[in-house]
Chain A
């Protein structure tokens, strides 16, 4: 019997592994698609059927960071010869780089928008996670009057689809002058995420035995010191998991960024598709912008992957 069940177990394992591979492929295919497009020449980007084998080039990335204009006349061979290799890539595609009065190459808005995304996502994540952690600690450790109601209220802020409040938000932001400001988007994303952070962190902090802090209190530390020296290190896993989720939400947010920012504080998500329709539809540039945009989240998540795994199974394991 044992042998049979082991065989069945092995078969089950294999099926599970096969299923995981299939699911992984399904999830990775759009990423493959966008990444490969980012390295394709423009003509192959929209070819039907899709081209799988091609000679990769970084032309889309050069285009992404520069401003260009369509060539109306063939380029002067002398100019072509004098151009650096990356400019040649653009000239080969039938476009020329825009230059300012002093002949310097004009950069596109992408780096600025990318920086906006970083500033806004990082700051709002820090705020949401720290506020969430402190609030969760309070709920977890002290007798708060109406605790259940307050927690429900905090959760209820997530019950409406955010877009429902888009127009009121827009009007309010215009009235107080928060439109198209970094601080405006930071406040908004923090408000989005803090309720989520409170709930997630409460789960983690509840799991930290309160004896740890009590030991610190008796050992001569204040509540504040105990919080920083004991609770925070113990909650590191939860903080990391919460930070990843908050960061992803803030980083990917599109609708509000589109409505509430247009230039100075615009983040990358509304900027990237706005490139469609300036001149011809250059999908390779959009793909290049998207691929770069994917990287920070991928890196951040990769760095915190161990915490994330533990974080996802939190509550499932009793200590």
Chain B
């Protein structure tokens, strides 16, 4: 197992730049998830590491050794494809033995290795079958088995559970995590599903338009998004994002949203923190996740009166649309806390869960309470 490092990697497809100056280090035994919408360059980056895609400039290092000029076969990494790419004309056993035959391992050793890996994946009973006779989950297990037999320096997974149904996806997610814990293989995992990313990753790399947006632990990325893109891409439902207007009146700091007179109280340190973050007063955006919007059925000090719109009951909790001017502010409440649309409620924004961004650059102003 090994460390994988990217240094200033760039890649174009014709006039389109799909990777823009991406640099990062995946530490030994680390599980890193590339997260981003489709077309953000995450898969291309992964394929570049595998050697399936050439890069225009920059370095890719595996264990400190530049590999960007090496063929895929010489990089000693394994790749798990979204469509599994199991060879249809070979049995499961032969599929898993295939990488071992490439290095001319002897028969007995191949047999032991394949069977032990198959055992750890619980697919020993499938070894004689053809891939076409397998369920989606089993195909994925075989594909992962094929990547593990060689004990490669790194395992690259391209949306490996993306084409499974929701329930199976959850099972496989847990299984992937267990395998990573057992094998400790350096892994890079590409997905557009932020739940998967949060669940699996030691660190998440959020990508957008070929640019690395943020690199951090799942908690970091969730709690301290580096910019508006990350803030709105990670988390479900999406973070509320409003233009903000800060007013100081009589020692009280209030922030009004979307140019309306709906103004929420904030601690008085806000003004100082904003100017420390070099915020421009008319370029302020406030982001707050629905759970950061606190709701009360009764009037309370510091709470603003609003009217509830659509209510989405999600079982464990409800998501309520609160009308703010022409827009809405979404809040998370206990189930059935607000009974019907049109009901009056009182809301407050938890300053600890509020994020301030520069509207033009989208970059976080780093305000924390």
Residues of A within 8 A of B (CB): 209, 211-212, 214-222, 225, 230, 233-234, 236
Q: List 18 A-B contacts (CB under 8 A).
A: A209-B85, A211-B85, A212-B85, A214-B50, A214-B79, A215-B81, A217-B72, A217-B73, A218-B52, A218-B72, A218-B73, A218-B77, A219-B73, A220-B103, A225-B102, A233-B87, A233-B89, A236-B89
Measured in the bound complex, the distance between the Cα atoms of B128 and A127 in whole Å is: 36
* B residues less than 8 Å from A230 (CB atoms): 87
Measured in the bound complex, the distance between the Cα atoms of B99 and A220 in whole Å is: 6
Q: Are A218 and B87 neighbours in the complex by a CB distance under 8 Å?
A: no
| B73 interface neighbour in A212, A221, A234, A236, Cβ under 8 Å | A221
Annotate B180-212 by CB proximity to A: 1 below 8 A, 0 otherwise. Answer: 000000000000000000000000000000000
Name the residue on B nearest A221 (C-beta). Answer: B102
Task: Pick from B50, B79, B85, B150 the residue with the most CB of A within 10 Å.
Answer: B85
Number of A-B residue pairs having CB atoms within 8 Å of each other in the complex: 58
Question: Per DSSP, are chain B's interface residues mostly helix, strand or loop, or mixed?
Answer: loop
* B residues less than 8 Å from A234 (CB atoms): 87-89
Q: Are A217 and B89 neighbours in the complex by a CB distance under 8 Å?
A: no
In this assembly, does B78 line the interface, its C-beta being within 8 Å of a C-beta of chain A? yes
* B residues less than 8 Å from A221 (CB atoms): 73, 102
* A residues less than 8 Å from B79 (CB atoms): 214-215, 218
Measured in the bound complex, the distance between the Cα atoms of B50 and A220 in whole Å is: 11
In this assembly, does B264 line the interface, its C-beta being within 8 Å of a C-beta of chain A? no
Measured in the bound complex, the distance between the Cα atoms of B146 and A230 in whole Å is: 15
Q: Which 9 A-B pairs have the closest CB atoms?
A: A220-B102, A211-B85, A219-B99, A215-B85, A217-B72, A218-B79, A233-B89, A211-B81, A220-B73
* A residues less than 8 Å from B83 (CB atoms): 209, 211
Distance (whole angstroms) from the CB of B67 to the closest CB of chain A: 13
* A residues less than 8 Å from B77 (CB atoms): 218
Name the residue on B nearest A213 (C-beta). Answer: B85
Q: Are A214 and B81 neighbours in the complex by a CB distance under 8 Å?
A: yes
Contacts A214-B79, A214-B81; A219 near B150 (Cβ below 8 A): yes
Distance (whole angstroms) from the CB of B90 to the closest CB of chain A: 8
Measured in the bound complex, the distance between the Cα atoms of B50 and A230 in whole Å is: 19
Measured in the bound complex, the distance between the Cα atoms of B102 and A218 in whole Å is: 10
Q: Are A212 and B102 neighbours in the complex by a CB distance under 8 Å?
A: no
* B residues less than 8 Å from A217 (CB atoms): 51-52, 71-73
Residues of B within 8 A of A (CB): 50-52, 71-73, 75, 77-79, 81, 83, 85, 87-89, 98-99, 102-103, 146, 150
Name the residue on A nearest B99 (C-beta). Answer: A219
* A residues less than 8 Å from B88 (CB atoms): 234
Task: Pick from A212, A216, A220 the residue with the most CB of B within 10 Å.
Answer: A220
Measured in the bound complex, the distance between the Cα atoms of B102 and A216 in whole Å is: 9
Measured in the bound complex, the distance between the Cα atoms of B70 and A222 in whole Å is: 12
* B residues less than 8 Å from A219 (CB atoms): 73, 78, 98-99, 102, 146, 150
Q: Are B73 and A222 neighbours in the complex by a CB distance under 8 Å?
A: yes
* A residues less than 8 Å from B73 (CB atoms): 217-222
* B residues less than 8 Å from A216 (CB atoms): 87, 98
Instruction: Please name 8 further chain A to chain B contacts, defined as beta carbons within 8 Å, in addition to the given A217-B71, A218-B51, A234-B88, sorted by A numbering.
Output: A209-B83, A209-B85, A211-B81, A214-B72, A219-B73, A219-B98, A220-B150, A234-B89
Measured in the bound complex, the distance between the Cα atoms of B50 and A132 in whole Å is: 30
* A residues less than 8 Å from B72 (CB atoms): 214, 217-218
| B52 interface neighbour in A214, A220, A225, A233, Cβ under 8 Å | A214
Measured in the bound complex, the distance between the Cα atoms of B97 and A220 in whole Å is: 12
* A residues less than 8 Å from B52 (CB atoms): 214, 217-218
* B residues less than 8 Å from A222 (CB atoms): 71, 73
Measured in the bound complex, the distance between the Cα atoms of B67 and A218 in whole Å is: 13
Q: Are A212 and B87 neighbours in the complex by a CB distance under 8 Å?
A: yes
Name the residue on B nearest A211 (C-beta). Answer: B85
Name the residue on B nearest A236 (C-beta). Answer: B89
Distance (whole angstroms) from the CB of B131 to the closest CB of chain A: 11
* A residues less than 8 Å from B89 (CB atoms): 233-234, 236
Measured in the bound complex, the distance between the Cα atoms of B103 and A230 in whole Å is: 17
Task: Pick from B79, B81, B87, B99 the residue with the most CB of A within 10 Å.
Answer: B87
Name the residue on B nearest A223 (C-beta). Answer: B71
Measured in the bound complex, the distance between the Cα atoms of B104 and A225 in whole Å is: 14
Measured in the bound complex, the distance between the Cα atoms of B89 and A233 in whole Å is: 7
Q: Are B99 and A214 neighbours in the complex by a CB distance under 8 Å?
A: no
Task: Pick from B71, B103, B146 the residue with the most CB of A within 10 Å.
Answer: B71
